[in-house]
């Protein structure tokens, strides 16, 4: 009995992992809660001990995964020596590498996530704001050190950067094969674009 809480945690985690996989495979609207249960190896009713409904499951799976991504991004950034440009490159890289390292999660984020109107319209989406806030910090630091221009609102730049990354990740996710070289070339292109812009000098 002593390990019940831990087991409970494992079960919740198993359900969330199964949800990401199932939503990526069947799509949010087509996926049935019973499919998630079967993928997680739990009874259908068990899901409802942890989650209110399918929307709640989607949001919880997103929050849980974003939490992991945010922690990883923070860790990697704290290890990254150098300028804001180097750190921005790290952000681009980690995001696009999802297409190789966690294709289900990449598909979940770019395709399935927008499929819950509830998610977009009503959900406050704290973890996503946290993600953006990490990038905003990198840009602010770069501005205060004079590496990045000061006349750019960090929040707008970050949101634009995220949009570009999301679209680029979507394009990668929809391909049949994604190589590390391809991801690296996309990272390099986005870095040039956002750091140096399109203007000829």
Structure token digits, residue 200: 């000829």
Q: Which stretch binds a copy of itself (CB under 8 A): 14-22, 40-48, 64-72, 169-177?
A: 169-177
Choice from 67, 115, 123, 130 touching a copy of itself (CB under 8 A): 115
Shortest distance in whole angstroms from residue 172 CB to a copy of itself: 11
Residue 162 contacts a copy of itself per CB under 8 A? yes
Residue with tokens 């494992």: 10
Helix axes 84-101, 54-79, angle to 10 degrees: 140
> What are the distances in angstroms from CA 34 to CA 22, 31, 45, 47, 71?
10, 8, 9, 9, 31
Shortest distance (Å) from residue 149 CB to a copy of itself: 5
What does the per-residue mask of binding to a copy of itself show for 45-84, with x meaning CB under 8 A?
A: ----------------------------------------
Among 5, 121, 176, 181, which residue sits at the site for a copy of itself (rule: CB under 8 A)? 121
Structure tokens belonging to residue 56: 């709640």
DSSP string, 6-23: HHHHHHHHHHHHHHHHHH
Position of tokens 């949800």? 19
Instruction: Name the residues that contact a copy of itself, by CB under 8 A.
Output: 27, 29-30, 85, 88, 111, 114-115, 117, 120-121, 139, 142, 146-153, 156-157, 159-168, 170-171, 174, 186, 189-190, 192-201
């Amino acid at each position: 009995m002593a390990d019940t809480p831990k087991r409970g945690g494992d079960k919740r985690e198993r359900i969330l992992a199964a949800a990401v996989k199932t939503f990526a495979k069947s799509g949010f609207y087509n996926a049935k809660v019973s499919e998630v249960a079967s993928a997680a190896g739990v009874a259908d009713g068990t899901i409802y001990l942890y989650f209110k409904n399918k929307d709640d499951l989607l949001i919880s799976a997103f929050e849980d995964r974003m939490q992991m991504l945010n922690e990883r991004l923070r860790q990697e950034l704290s290890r990254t020596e150098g300028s804001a440009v180097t750190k921005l490159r790290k952000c681009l890289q980690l995001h696009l590498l999802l297409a190789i390292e966690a294709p289900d999660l990449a598909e979940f984020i770019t395709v399935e996530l927008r499929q819950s109107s509830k998610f977009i319209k009503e959900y406050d989406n704290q973890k996503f704001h946290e993600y953006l806030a990490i990038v905003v910090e990198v840009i602010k630091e770069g501005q205060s050190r004079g590496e990045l221009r000061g006349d750019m609102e960090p929040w707008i730049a970050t949101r634009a950067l995220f949009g570009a990354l999301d679209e680029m990740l979507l394009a990668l996710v929809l391909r049949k094969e994604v190589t590390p070289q391809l991801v690296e070339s996309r990272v390099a292109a986005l870095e040039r674009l956002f750091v140096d812009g399109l203007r000829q000098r």
